[in-house]
Structure 1
Amino acid sequence: MKALTFVASAVFFLAGTAGAAEKALSIGTLERVATFDGAMPTGVTVSEGGRIFVNFPRWGDDVKFTVAELRNGKAVPYPQADADPFISVQSVVADGHGRVWVLDTAAPKFSAPKPGGARLVAIDLATNKVVKTYVFTPDVVLPSTYVNDVRFDFRGGGEGVAYITDSSLSGPGAIIVLDLATGKAVRRLNGHASVMPEPGFAPAVNGKAMPASFKVASDGIALSPDGETLYYCALSSRHLFAVPTRLLRDPAVSEADLARAVRDIGVKGASDGLEADAKGTVYAGDYEHNAIRKLDAGATTWQTIAQAPRLSWPDTFSIGPDGYLYVIANQLHRQAGFNEGRDLRRKPYELLRLKIGAQPAPTR
């Protein structure tokens, strides 16, 4: 497929070309929602009622609680204040139907997941109580697995499906497909090129090269509003891929046939977070250039809708019922591990939002 094009800030797209002009460039109106002076956040989600949840993985910061709800602009432990029931949470996702889901990697500091610890947990927003827990089996969560992000589809029979990215740093990436009725999960596209670091990928954030060891598999994920297409990307890649969900869900479809159905949508920029809205627009971060881009349904041109220095590593996205796109900017590239042992992060980290005038993609 022909590579897609950018507008607005295309001149800054090529890795390593960022300079004074980009640093001065500002596109879009970003609003501050909250700040974080302690541990570094990675995930955010906004429920249909407007409640906001964030998470703090245990990567090395002093993490007192790994999931929180924002109340009056302050992060408070969730779902309970007296004990943290999770090991190390990478993502929180509200499903639009009264629940928030917590994806626990069970892999603090990117260690091998603790046996039986990697799980997906549903919390009822009316009672703030855990109502479902799915524990991943060793054939799904490998010693190298790092479960990263999740999207839900409750259409059709049973109780629906969860799609999860494995963003392994050392093993095969994959899309994990979880049947929410049976609890059975399977790895699809295991080790396929689309879920693996892009060969020759050499990212540069604002012109500064990332270490050669920065090789991370499938990370960002988004579901089309009709539930028929799953979009995803590796963290160490600039390409967006898509695959029909009916093939992912069908155990009769071989890995070879599934691989043939994968589409390379083209170059979008190097992204951490992805999201889709109810109109079918796909949103992607560009962490090399402090930017957020969108691809409207049926379009072939990506548009830059936000770019500013404060968008320092746009991580997870969530679309709220208020028509805003919420994004965590967490300066991930400034961690000591990427800077010869020097922690260059400057607190506070920010939760920002951008008016997009669209609703979240439906999940049923």
Structure 2
Amino acid sequence: MAEEAEVVKNKQVVLKNYATGFVKDSDFIIKTDSTMSLKVPESSSKGVLVKNFYLSCDPYLSFLMQKSDSSLEAQFSRFSLGSTINGFGVAKVVDSRHPKFEKGDLVWGITGWEEYSLIAEPDSLFKIEHTDVPLSHYTGLLGMSGLTAYGGLFEVCNPKKGEKVFVSAASGSVGLLVGQFAKLTGCHVIGSAGSREKVDLLKNKFGFDDAFNYKEEQDLDAALKRYFPEGIDIHFENVGGKMLDAVLLNMRMHGRIAVCGLMSQYHQEKPEGLYNVASILIKRLRMEGFGVFDYLHLYPKFLDLVLPQIREKKITYVEDIAEGLENGPAALVGLFSGRNVGKQVVLVARE
């Protein structure tokens, strides 16, 4: 006779309302009456059951909470009302029917915003082989944020020693890594951020050559000309709108722009237009959008580059950790007011 599986309580973050404008705390419910069997059901031939340790707060999640269609739906499924939020996280395998994963394995990838998740198609999970670094780093530095920074900088922009690099939203989890990767390549790097505190961190903690507070600049074009008198070779775009329009005027011939995010446009009813697109033609610019899923196949190559730098303390990384699943919604909402510095993480359970 088969042993009966243990059943445990399973706290969840559930979508209550579709987001309109900026996502709000009231768009979520913390559901405490759900349960989970700690066995993968026989009907799930390749399922993996995990206990979640850390969850990653990322701006793209707000797109998936909106009722209207989104360009991101090609890569992510939009959330439905009453469903559990999901995103990138770090977890431990409790039970598995998948040949790639065994009980006790540590993994990172797409999981639920809940204490335990049954993942029917675990193709987006990566086994964690290197545990001499903090597990929480796999939500960002060694997970989506790091691979995004790596793919956009090295695959899209192909930086060369001595080139001038500008990173917008540079104090975010991706931007601060782009800047450091570019510095390791020998580039001159300047970032923008939304407070004096963040500007100081970029210059004094993360090794940027210089940085400025875009909120204190009346004329972004003039600001960029001040910091890049000879122009910009590489721009890593996280903001869009007026910032991107000003950047186009300040790019050098054959410059490259990696479009990673458009933070300023995510909640606009009518997105801002670009007026300086002629610069793309005149200056022979290359501007390319990309997503982290484009570079999953490069993850081993990415680790080969980054792990030695972490161990030699050549990369500085900051995490803003909110403790408790119930504090996850507030942590996510805070992304859009610039509340966090570095990678915003939610601690669900201790390792």
TM-score normalised according to structure 2 size? 0.30
Higher strand share: 1
Larger Cα Rg: Structure 1 or Structure 2? 2
Higher helix share: 2
TM-score normalised according to structure 1 size? 0.29
